[in-house]
Amino acid sequence: MPVTDQRMTEPVMGPAEALSELFTPAGKHHPYPLYDALWELGPVIPLGPAGMLVLGYDEICTALRDSRFLVTDAAVHRTTGMNEHSSWQCFTKIMMFSNSPDHERMRRFAGWAYAPRQVAERRLLAIRAAERWTSHLATLAGGGDGGDEGGDGGPVDLVEAFATRVPITVTGELLGIPDADRMPLRTAITATTTAFEPVFDRDELLPADAGMDVLVDYIADLVRERRRRPGDDLVSAMVRDRDTAGALSEEELVASLVMFVIAGVQSPSDLIGNTVRLALDHPAEGLRLTTDDDFASAFITEALRIDPPNHVLTRAAATDIDFYGHRVAAGTRALLVLAAANRDPRQFTDPATFDTARKDSRPLSFGLGPHYCLGAAFARMQVEAAVPVLLRRFPRMTLAAPPTYRDQLVTRGFARMDVALGS
């Protein structure tokens, strides 16, 4: 059967138009019809001599497992001058943007911090954070908080008042970031993630650079403080490990901790937003989420599939590669569109339908292969713990307005989601 027969939404335009639309503000807000249109060109789409878009599930799995496709590390970024920017100076010192052998060295150093036992021990932390911020929402709705919105029982922005606050609280506790310092870091965290978008003009990196400067300064201070007065937190543990084993440079240590803050907050926050939205759109499943712990896992897997927080990963070909019949020249940038692969009709029946009963569903939302997300279990645990707490407390919650998206595709999520709590 031709693959296009199974697409749920009719392509709204031709592939060429879809491609030029994809990284525009409108395209970033509504990318799924564009992926459908691009699918007309097949699972692998050459983009001139040095670019390639990959939409197919199997094709992306192959690329992510193939060591000839490298992450865009410091060497790659030096060739484009991106390394002159403080955002990329920091990002290229972390495992996500390092290749072998640095990648293994860094992953070995920090891997324990997000291992299953650690994650299980943090579940209570996530539940407490969710309870704290649902109480905050109730206060906003009841008018007693003195905040600048919602105090009259009107709509509240769930992104600001809950989705961001839960992961920032959990990660803040973990790293020993004082409560009062956490929310002020939020704007800087989101700003740094704009560095992952394709850059057409280098000035577009300035907000990410400014955000990164704030985070690097903050974490470098925290590291100094914990070196003087160690506590029972991840920063103290990593400082101790570095100072005894010396496996990371001081800059790499700070960069790794900055990454824990960024990755620990932004995508989990986006996943909470997407999950709540899906629960409101599918009330029967939303209700089941509040009563059936096992069901939460299936719900989150399907939320990750149908609307992942990260749409695109980038790889650079280290050498000439024959890839599914396409000749990929060394240096070619491959844009791997995870969000399109998650709707590949060869892999998922009825792919545009939200269906929590799917069996053996393995969306690519946390990547695959050596760079598979270190925090996947930690992120899932937080969302599985927090969203039911919210929905139990506000069973009549409804959207007060269509949510708006940030102007980002690589790290995609709601800028704002106004809800009426109905309490």
Binding of residue 272 to ligand HEM (CB under 6 A): no
> Which one, 95 or 141, has the nearer CB to ligand HEM?
95
Q: Can you tell me which of 56, 172, 264, 351 binds ligand HEM, judged by CB under 6 A?
A: 264
φ/ψ (deg, to 5) at 385: -80, -40
CB of 62 to ligand HEM, least distance (A): 14
- CA dist 60 and 344 (Å) reads 11
Tell me which residue has tokens 């920017």. 85
Binding span for ligand HEM by CB under 6 A among 210-218, 237-245, 257-265, 394-402? 257-265
Pairing state of beta strands 333-337 and 51-54?
Answer: parallel
Of residues 208 and 338, the one with the C-beta less far from ligand HEM: 338
* C-alpha dihedral (197, 316, 79, 17), degrees to nearest 10: -50
71 binds ligand HEM (CB under 6 A): yes
Q: Among residues 69, 109, 260, 323, which is the contact residue for ligand HEM, using CB under 6 A?
A: 260
Task: Kindly state whether residue 367 participates in binding ligand HEM, applying the rule CB under 6 A.
Answer: yes
Q: In the block, which residue shows the tokens 């992961």?
A: 167
Query: What's the min distance (Å) between Cβ of 108 and ligand HEM?
Result: 10
325 CB-contact burial (10 Å; exposed 0-12 / middle 13-18 / buried 19+): exposed
Q: Using CA atoms, how far apart are residues 217 and 359, in angstroms rounded to an integer?
A: 46
Smallest gap from Cβ 71 to ligand HEM, in A, equals 5
Q: Judged by CB under 6 A, which stretch of 74-82, 118-126, 143-151, 261-269 contacts ligand HEM?
A: 261-269
The answer to whether 88 contacts ligand HEM (rule: CB under 6 A) is no
Task: Examine residue 267 and tell whether it contacts ligand HEM (CB under 6 A).
Answer: yes
- Terminal Cα distance for the chain, rounded: 49
From candidates 219, 379, 390, 397, binder to ligand HEM by CB under 6 A: 379
Q: Which is nearer to ligand HEM, 150 or 194 (CB)?
A: 194
Give the DSSP letter of residue 159: I
Collapsing DSSP to helix, strand or coil, 134 comes out as helix
The answer to whether residue 299 forms part of the interface with ligand HEM (CB under 6 A) is no
Structure tokens at 113: 């911090």
The residue number with the shortest CB distance to ligand HEM is 375
Q: Which residue from 375, 326, 340 is spatially nearest to 31, judged by alpha carbons?
A: 340
**Taking a C-beta distance cutoff of 8 angstroms, is the pair 414, 402 a contact?**
no
- Which residues sit at the interface with ligand HEM, rule CB under 6 A? 71, 95-96, 107, 114, 259-260, 263-264, 267-268, 271, 308-310, 313, 365-367, 371, 373-375, 378-379
